Structure 1
Amino acid sequence: MDDRALALPAFRLFLTARTISWAGNAITLVALPLLMFQITGSPALTGLLTAVEAIPYLALGLVAGALADRWNRKRVLIVTGAFSGLTLATIPAAAALHSLTVPHVFLTALTMSTLFVFFDAAGFGALPELVGRDRIPSATANMVACNTVITLLGPAAGGALAAAIGPAWALSIDAAAYLIAAGVTARVHWQPARLAPPTLLSAQALWDDIGEGLQYIWRTRIVRWLTIIGAGASISAGAMLGLMIVVGLRQFALTEHDPKLGLLYSASALGALIISLTISRIQRALPTGWITILALSISWLAQLAWAATTSINVGLVILVFFQAATTLSIMNGIIVRQSLAPEHLQSRVNTTARMIAWGGTPVGALLGGTLAEHFSTSLAILICSAGTAAGLAVAAGAKLWRVPPLARLRSGHHAH
């Protein structure tokens, strides 16, 4: 791990809170789609669940980013985390009363995803406040490393736990993790910057704030192209994520109670971990544009291989490469945006860019689920991989190989 950010006590406590939350999330990653498939037996509804979870970011990303740049970011993190825990706890409560329904699962997923939009917006702005601009790559790498270690181990444990006590009851652990993490965040000693006076915000002022973030994204060439490319790649990523459980059951012939379902997510986490431990060196060694082109190329090839294999062992290796490439693309974009964007634009630029870049996720999840409902999962993955291929074509057309390394971007060269 890069220890530059870890030298700061406030960041260490902040990272602890996030790690507790991620530990619970790793269980939900397996338990929630598995719960939906157990209730309905429908790949389409399972894919729709992933789509529903992505919709709030599309609908509220612009607004949440603008508001988070005005609000106390620490308070937003605490409140949204606590309410997420209380919301998720309604599923095991309903299961205990034998009253759990499909609409309840969808509503819970939608509510938690809505809270996450505001949590994420505040988190983007909080990180530079905590560590300073120069430590952003170090802090991001450490956060992703911790996240992926948890995700590497958690899904396998989550799959075993869901098989042992049922997915609804497994979700109660994530609910508790949210509440504990909110309490730890409250103990982080940092004074968030007040970026706007605490006055009543008019609709025009909110729109002006949103417009300022959009203008920055459009004017800054590398941010603009990374955002546009990500929109196409997210269609493919949405299909991969939305069909993960279905591929395990159909293509690899696993059973609903097989703990190996969790290994699919663990393999993805391993790929993310590899990148989180090497991203700083990659960004120092390679130009920013070449990182994007390399990531998209590996991701596309991995999707083609994923569609073709029927072996769980081969599939796990493919997922490592796919998630490594996907994580490389995501982290590269996040670090570039956080390194270049002015302090007063951090939340809205990052949430807006993520909203646009990953706006295809619900489309891909829904499209993949619908195709798998009527055809094979292999054909569904192949069709949806066109999103990544399109992103690769755009990267080539935009001549991204000319974009310099991050150090030169940060110093002002080619920032626009």
Structure 2
Amino acid sequence: MSHRTGFGLFATARAVSWAGSSITAVALPVLLYARTGSASLSGLLPALEALPYLVLGLPAGALADRWDRRRTMSRCSWYSAALIAAIPVAASLDVLTTAQIMVTAPAVSAVFVFFDAAAFGALTTLVGREGLARATGRMMSASTLIGLLGPSAAGILVATLGAPTAVTLDALSYAAATLLLTRLPLAVADRTAADDRPPARRALMEEMAEGLRHIRRHPVVRPLTLLGIGNSFTEGAVVGLIVVAAVRRYGMGLDDGRTGLFWAAAATGALAAATALPRLQKTVPAGWITLGGLAANALFLACWALSPGLASGLAALAAWQASNTLVSLNGIVVRQQVTPDHLQARVNTTARMIAWGGQPLGAATAGVLADAVGLRAALLLACLAALTSLAAGLTTQLRRKALPAIGEAVSP
């Protein structure tokens, strides 16, 4: 089987899983808010989902560079299917609790950390470095297209079938994805290019430290990674408060199928960013893409907080998501392009762990603030995180049109 066909299988498996996950992305927050009515817990849920990357990113990356990538991804998909399936099973037995919902979300996320670590290296092997930007853009476009259609359908499914039953489809999607992943043309031989052979196996801590050193010393990867913290803080705030906004601001009931429109609007923005990024990277310096994206992030988040009606709110949310995704995706693509194959899992999971560090804090903080000072004030305060990253970025070499060459020392 050719690697081109392999990429098709890989992309299809991810698309099937994304389709199922788009349902759970709507169903779990709705299920939680219906049981508790708490903005604080609604914010805590995405915070818990983001936490495993902060805890497991380093060891998962180092281990995934040792393990067989195909086997790792396949097993992780099966584990995710089992965890998700437990929700409708418990609901059917009338034993589903708030605690189970709050535990399932981070458990699935913990499994995803290992899947993601293996997937970084797998994608590089399947398409080559020269094909990373295009392949990543295509996958992001597929992901966001599914995100555009999926949440709208999920809102209808949740309203008609109930959230627990709708979640069953996600479990089935993970199982279907597993069957596709087991056929990927990945083997140890794929990772032994003469100029990129992995070093002899060493202690796990040493391998983890190597990934950190690569990020710390690289003149482009380091600032792109650190600036992602403010970007992810705003993401956590928005994701944590979408259901709260639908209910408290726009007067929607939890059984209103229109709740899916908020995720659909966000997916529209993400699709626009994924489509534009490959062209932008050919004409605009990588640093400027990130700095411009952070400025737009703060602007459109403020617009969403202050929007007077549903239509303007959805438009502002889509624009905010486009800017947020542009910052995130630009950092991911650049990082993959400049990282040696034997470091792909370690560097990418570690960098994502750092960049996503703001997400759980943003989600939890915004939820508490929404209960304490109101939804609008919570969102406006979240803008400060993007502005802080922007200010920090303007003091780095990212503001220059020509960035340092790979390996070149960074000026103090």
TM range (shorter): over 0.9
Q: Report the equivalent of 1:79.
A: 75
Q: Cα offset for 1:198?
A: 10
The answer to whether 1:117 aligns with 2:113 is yes
Q: Cα offset for 1:91?
A: 0.3
Q: Report the equivalent of 2:254.
A: 256
Q: Cα offset for 1:373?
A: 1.5
Report the residue type matching 2:379 in the other structure.
I
Report the residue type matching 1:111 in the other structure.
A
Q: Report the equivalent of 2:293.
A: 295
Q: Report the equivalent of 1:56.
A: 52
* Cα pair 1:243 1:368 within 8 Å, conserved: yes
Q: Cα offset for 1:89?
A: 0.2
* Cα pair 2:69 2:186 within 8 Å, conserved: no
- Cα distance in 2 for residues equivalent to 1:139 and 1:123: 13
* Cα pair 1:251 1:310 within 8 Å, conserved: no
- Cα distance in 1 for residues equivalent to 2:388 and 2:398: 14
Report how many aligned residue pairs link the two structures. 403
* Cα pair 2:234 2:383 within 8 Å, conserved: yes
The answer to whether 1:65 aligns with 2:64 is no
After superposition, residues 264-279 of structure 1 pair within 5 angstroms as 264-279=262-277
The 1:179–1:273 alpha-carbon spacing in structure 2 relative to 1, beyond 3 Å, is same
- Cα distance in 2 for residues equivalent to 1:211 and 1:182: 31
After superposition, residues 369-388 of structure 1 pair within 5 angstroms as 369-388=367-386
Question: Given the alignment, which residue of 91, 115, 122 partners 1:95?
Answer: 91
Cα deviation digits, residues 103-153 of structure 1 (max 9, x gap): 111111121010011011111111111111110011101100110110000
- Cα distance in 2 for residues equivalent to 1:150 and 1:140: 15
What runs of 5+ residues in structure 1 fail to find an aligned partner? Answer: 1-5
Which secondary structure state, in structure 1, belongs to the residue aligned with residue 220 of structure 2? Answer: helix
* Cα pair 2:219 2:407 within 8 Å, conserved: no
After superposition, residues 395-406 of structure 1 pair within 5 angstroms as 395-402=393-400, 404=402
- Cα distance in 1 for residues equivalent to 2:308 and 2:33: 21
After superposition, residues 15-414 of structure 1 pair within 5 angstroms as 15-192=11-188, 193=190, 205-402=203-400, 404=402, 412=406
* Cα pair 2:68 2:187 within 8 Å, conserved: no
* Cα pair 1:340 1:415 within 8 Å, conserved: no
Which secondary structure state, in structure 1, belongs to the residue aligned with residue 66 of structure 2? Answer: coil
The 1:310–1:257 alpha-carbon spacing in structure 2 relative to 1, beyond 3 Å, is farther
Which secondary structure state, in structure 2, belongs to the residue aligned with residue 189 of structure 1? Answer: coil
Which secondary structure state, in structure 2, belongs to the residue aligned with residue 100 of structure 1? Answer: coil
The 1:39–1:414 alpha-carbon spacing in structure 2 relative to 1, beyond 3 Å, is same
Cα deviation digits, residues 226-252 of structure 1 (max 9, x gap): 111111221121101111111111112
Cα deviation digits, residues 262-304 of structure 1 (max 9, x gap): 0100011011111212211110010111101110111100111
Q: Cα offset for 1:413?
A: 7.6
- Cα distance in 1 for residues equivalent to 2:45 and 2:204: 30
Report the residue type matching 2:81 in the other structure.
G
Report the residue type matching 1:183 in the other structure.
L
- Cα distance in 1 for residues equivalent to 2:233 and 2:325: 15
Report the residue type matching 1:325 in the other structure.
S
Cα deviation digits, residues 4-52 of structure 1 (max 9, x gap): xx99111011111111001001111111111110111111111111111
Q: Cα offset for 1:414?
A: 5.2
- Cα distance in 2 for residues equivalent to 1:29 and 1:278: 25
Report the residue type matching 1:38 in the other structure.
A
Q: Cα offset for 1:217?
A: 0.3
Report the residue type matching 2:376 in the other structure.
S
TM-score, with normalisation over the residues of structure 2? 0.94
Q: Cα offset for 1:191?
A: 2.0
- Cα distance in 1 for residues equivalent to 2:397 and 2:166: 47
Which secondary structure state, in structure 1, belongs to the residue aligned with residue 262 of structure 2? Answer: helix
Report the residue type matching 2:389 in the other structure.
G
Q: Cα offset for 1:404?
A: 3.1
Q: Report the equivalent of 1:3.
A: none
Cα deviation digits, residues 35-72 of structure 1 (max 9, x gap): 11011111111111111101100000011011111111
The 1:399–1:189 alpha-carbon spacing in structure 2 relative to 1, beyond 3 Å, is closer
